[in-house]
Structure 1
Amino acid sequence: MKKLVFIFLTLISTNLLAQRPQTEQGKGSLAFWENLTKLCGKSFEGEMINASENDQFYGKKLVMHVRTCEDGKITIPFHVGDDHSRTWVLTMEEGDVIKLKHDHRHEDGTEDRVTQYGGTSSNTGMSKVQFFPADQETTSLIPYAATNIWWITLDDTTFSYNLRRINNDSSINVKFDLTKEVDTPPTPWGWED
C-alpha cells in the first residue's frame, strides 16, 4: 500500500511540475515581453532614483512611451525634458532572449556618433526582470562601457530602467509609475509616425 501511495504522489507531483507556467520553466522572457506589449501606445512619467544635482536628468520631466510593438520588436522612446533623442529598442532574439539597444539621434534625425550600444540577455531571465550585459559592439564603440549591465524591471505598477558599471559606483535608475498614464510626447527625433 505504501508503494502505491508513493507512486500516486510521484505521478501527481510530476504532473503538477509539467503544468507550471512557462515563466517557471525558463521562459521568463516571453512573459516579460507579453506584459510589456500590454503597455503599447501608452506613456508614463518617471523619476530618477538617488539623482544628484550633477546628473544630466536632474530636474527634468522624464517620460517613456511604449511607441511600437511589432512582431519581435518594441520601441520605447525615453524623453528627457525637451530632448527627444533617446529610444530603447528591444528585440526578441533566437532562443527567446531579448536584446536591448540604445538608439540616439540628433534633432535633425541623424544618428549620434554613440548609438546602437547595449547587450543581449544571457538567458531567458524572469517575467519581471531582464538583464543585458554589454555586448562586443558596445565594448568596441565605448571601451569604458565594457562592464555595463543594464536591466529592466516590470510589474503591474512599475517599469524601471537601470544601468550599473561594475568597475565603479556610477548607476542610473529611472522608475516609471504605470498606474498613471500621461500625454504622449512628440515623435522622437529620427523616427516617423
Structure 2
Amino acid sequence: MTTNVLASFAAVLAIIVFMGCSKSEKPQPAQSRFGDQFGGTPYLGDATGELFIDGSLRYTWKGNATVSAIEQTADSVSLVFQANFGDEGEINLKIRGRDHGGNFLLESPGAVLRVIEGDISGMFENAAQTISFSGDVRERYVFADVDVLFNESTDVFPAGSTLKLAFRTSREVEGGDPSGGDGCTMRLVPVWSPTGLTMGMVPDCD
C-alpha cells in the first residue's frame, strides 16, 4: 500500500461531527462531567488499521494512537480519536456530543455515539459508509474499535470492503485541564463534516 493510497484513505475517513448543544449557564457538578473524568492528560498508545476486501485481510498499518476529550463547555465536549501511521498518513475522528451525567452522548439521525458508564457504542450511517464504534473508556485506559464498511466504491476501496481501526491507549496521570490535552499543542487539520471538508483542532502530542 503506497503513501498516496493511505493518504487518500485518511481523507475519506477523517471526520468531524457537530451537534447542537444547549448553552446552559449552570455547569454540572465536576464529579459528574465526562470532560473532567476523561479530559486533561491524553491517552497514548498503539493504533492498528486492517483492510479487508472480499473477507480477506489485504493490508495492515501500525502506528501511534491518541485519544482525548477536549473543548469542554458546561454541557458539551469533543471526543477525538487519532491514528498516526507516519509517512503513510493519519486519521482524525472528532465527534462533539453532550456531556451529561458523566456520559458522552451524540444522538442525531444517522449518527449515534454513546459512552455510558465507560462503554462505547454507536454507529454512523450514510450513503458512502457505515461506521460502528465499540470499546471501553476508563480513567487509565481507552480501548476502542472503529469499523468502517464502504457502501460505495472509492478510488481506494471497493464497495463492501471493511477497514478495522483499533486504538489501544493508556495514561499514567488522571485529570488535568479539560480544555485541551495536557502536554500537547493543538493543531489545525483537515476533517470531513456532513457538509464536506472542513478544518478542526486536534491535540498534537508527539
TM-score, scaled to structure 1: 0.49
Hey, which of these two has a bigger chunk of strand by percent?
A: 2
The structure that has the greater radius of gyration is 1
- Which structure has more RCO (C-alpha within 8 Å, separation ≥ 6)? 2
TM-score, scaled to structure 2: 0.47
Hey, which of these two has a bigger chunk of helix by percent?
A: 1
